[in-house]
Chain A
Amino acid sequence: MTGVRVAGTGLTPFGNAPERTSRDLFAEASSAAFADSGVPREDVEAVFYGNFMGELAEHQGHQGPLMAEAAGVRAPATRYESACASSGMAVRDAVMRVRNGEHDVVLVGGAERMTNLGTAGATEALAIAADELWEVRAGMTFPGAYALMAKAYFDEFGGGREDLAHVAVKNHENALPNEKAQYQKSIEVAEVLDAPTVSSPLSLYDACPLSDGASALVLTSEAYAEEHDIDAPVAITGTGQGGDRMALHDREFLARSPAAREAGEEAYADAGIGAGDVDVAEVHDCFTIAEVLALEALDLEPVGEGITAARDGRTTADGDTPINLSGGLKAKGHPVGATGASQIAEVSKLLAGTHPNSEPVADATTGVAHNAGGTVASATVHVLEVAE
């Protein structure tokens, strides 16, 4: 089994670009990734592309070949759909293909166009990640689903809206130097608490924004990177995937994410690390409560204690384990299909020392990326390590 290196990463700005097609977004991200990698396009042997709602936002299916074309790559291409974990899944399959020797060079990434749908249209589109018959038809929205989990968490473990507000404040703070972030703007706890309610107990500032954007990675085998003298100091050393029942009401626990735990345990074992080795992580904070659940599922916080992590400074930039130094989905933005691969890009740059927020984690050697779909009926976790 060969090692997998991150040879290059590329992101578009995340934000409000309703007129930009996803093919244009992915062209920009992939061009940036190729330029960053020094790998020629013609060496790409396969394209792994994540997208969630292209049929609804652009009336466009069959996006694999379309995106290979947009990236200027002549190689077989597959689109992955796993709700908000779409490009995490694409990364996982790409990693396994390189590892087993099928390919030496792959292009991985994702894109989402969302803001052209407007708030109501995008809310409807996002809801298809839930069980249409038993959840959506009862009026459950996506923020509503996480609100059900937040309320269940408060009842089981304690904590409240103010604790969650600290997660939003932290992630906005982290996004300040990130030029690709949707919001480079500090917020106060009081603003989160006073913001309009989306779905109680969650306010507008507990939620990630609607975003347009794309991400791309050029991954290579260790042997290819060495032979071609590619500067690729970070390796993907662990991959894991977990699954759960689709509807929240069918889960054993309403305030835990077993699929993420399963994915994390697999990824940690794959990389030969433990949670205590993790120096930095990007986790799927589509809502503030989601960051709390992710920390607990990844054993970065004991179950029931993740709620205080941001408030007490354990996960801030100067804390023991900084979380979402990119700004997270909350402030960086969440173009759904682009998110999973963008997290890999962020962790890779944080470890390589090339991220605007690398300084607080200058000695970091091990990072984790956690990507979740729906109410975490799907999850991927990847471990990245400095390889040299």
Chain B
Amino acid sequence: MSDESARDAGFDDWLDAAETGDAYYLECPAGHTSLPPRRLCPTCGAAALDERPLPETGEIETFTVTHVPTPAFEDDAPYATAIADFGPIRVTGQVVDLDPDAVDTGLPVELDVTSSETTGERVLGFKTV
């Protein structure tokens, strides 16, 4: 485990932005998209990456309900993890406001930075729209 007091620059900044409704993605001049922390476009290596506002609503593309977690989510299980498509990018997050059995593909969601019931650490979540 890393030092819990040290932030992960770029990633924690992104979570901060998501908490205030200012989540973003990165786009290079060729239109390739990615998530931070990044200095270079992972597709073409371009160094000019612009921050663009993430669309507010995504759609669940696939999901799983995890019953056997890592110790960091011991008290959270069972919980639903989903990949949601926000258009320019996809994101992996925990569906936080629904019974795990009610989660389904196609559900519209927005970002909701929440915290682990086990560790109190911030967790990227989704809530239904």
Q: Which residues does A use to contact B, with CB under 8 Å?
A: 119-121, 123-124, 127, 133-141, 143-144, 147-149, 151-152, 155, 196-202, 245, 247-250, 254
- Chain B residues with Cβ under 8 A from A134's Cβ? 11, 35, 91-92, 124
B72 within 8 A of A: yes
| New contact pairs (9) apart from A120-B74, A139-B73, A250-B35, CB-CB < 8 Å | A120-B70, A121-B71, A134-B91, A139-B79, A148-B83, A196-B67, A199-B66, A201-B64, A202-B64
A sample of 5 inter-chain contacts (CB < 8 A) reads A141-B70, A199-B64, A248-B83, A250-B35, A250-B90
- CB pair B11 A135 closer than 8 Å: no
- Chain B residues with Cβ under 8 A from A136's Cβ? 70
- Chain B residues with Cβ under 8 A from A138's Cβ? 81, 92-94, 123-125
Q: Give the CA-CA distance A352 to B34 in the complex, in Å.
A: 48
Q: Give the CA-CA distance A119 to B74 in the complex, in Å.
A: 12
Select B11's contact among A123, A133, A196, A250, beta carbons within 8 Å: A133
Interface centre among B37, B70, B74, B123, by most chain A C-beta atoms within 10 angstroms, is B70
Interface centre among A121, A144, A147, A196, by most chain B C-beta atoms within 10 angstroms, is A144
- Chain A residues with Cβ under 8 A from B93's Cβ? 138
- CB pair A148 B74 closer than 8 Å: no
Q: Give the CA-CA distance A137 to B120 in the complex, in Å.
A: 12
- Chain B residues with Cβ under 8 A from A144's Cβ? 64, 66, 81
CB closest chain-B residue, reference A245: B42
- Chain B residues with Cβ under 8 A from A135's Cβ? 92
- CB pair B66 A249 closer than 8 Å: no
Main SS at interface, chain A: helix
CB closest chain-B residue, reference A118: B71
- CB pair A123 B67 closer than 8 Å: no
B76 within 8 A of A: yes
In the complex, which residues 85-126 of chain B have their Cβ closer than 8 Å to any Cβ of chain A? 89-94, 105, 116, 121-125
Q: How large is the interface on B (under 10, 10 to 19, 20 to 34, 35 or more residues)?
A: 35 or more
- B3 to chain A minimum Cβ distance, whole angstroms, is 14
B54 within 8 A of A: no
- Shortest 5 CB-CB contacts between residues of A and residues of B: A147-B64, A249-B90, A152-B62, A124-B70, A200-B65
- Chain A residues with Cβ under 8 A from B34's Cβ? 250
- Chain B residues with Cβ under 8 A from A245's Cβ? 42
Q: Which residues does B use to contact A, with CB under 8 Å?
A: 8, 11, 34-35, 37, 42, 61-74, 76, 79, 81-83, 89-94, 105, 116, 121-125
Q: Give the CA-CA distance A151 to B80 in the complex, in Å.
A: 13
- CB pair A247 B92 closer than 8 Å: yes
- CB pair A137 B121 closer than 8 Å: yes
CB closest chain-B residue, reference A143: B68
- CB pair B64 A137 closer than 8 Å: no
- Chain B residues with Cβ under 8 A from A196's Cβ? 67
- CB pair B8 A133 closer than 8 Å: yes
- B33 to chain A minimum Cβ distance, whole angstroms, is 9
- CB pair B64 A200 closer than 8 Å: yes
CB closest chain-B residue, reference A131: B92
- CB pair A197 B65 closer than 8 Å: yes
Interface centre among B11, B62, B89, B122, by most chain A C-beta atoms within 10 angstroms, is B62
- A127 to chain B minimum Cβ distance, whole angstroms, is 5
Given A135-B92, A249-B83, the answer on whether A119 and B68 have CB atoms closer than 8 Å is yes
- A124 to chain B minimum Cβ distance, whole angstroms, is 4
- CB pair A139 B69 closer than 8 Å: yes
Given A120-B74, A123-B69, the answer on whether A137 and B90 have CB atoms closer than 8 Å is no
- B1 to chain A minimum Cβ distance, whole angstroms, is 9
CB closest chain-A residue, reference B125: A138
- CB pair A199 B123 closer than 8 Å: no
CB closest chain-A residue, reference B84: A249
- CB pair B92 A199 closer than 8 Å: no
Given A134-B35, A144-B81, the answer on whether A139 and B66 have CB atoms closer than 8 Å is yes
- CB pair A120 B71 closer than 8 Å: yes
- Chain A residues with Cβ under 8 A from B67's Cβ? 196-200
- CB pair B64 A155 closer than 8 Å: no
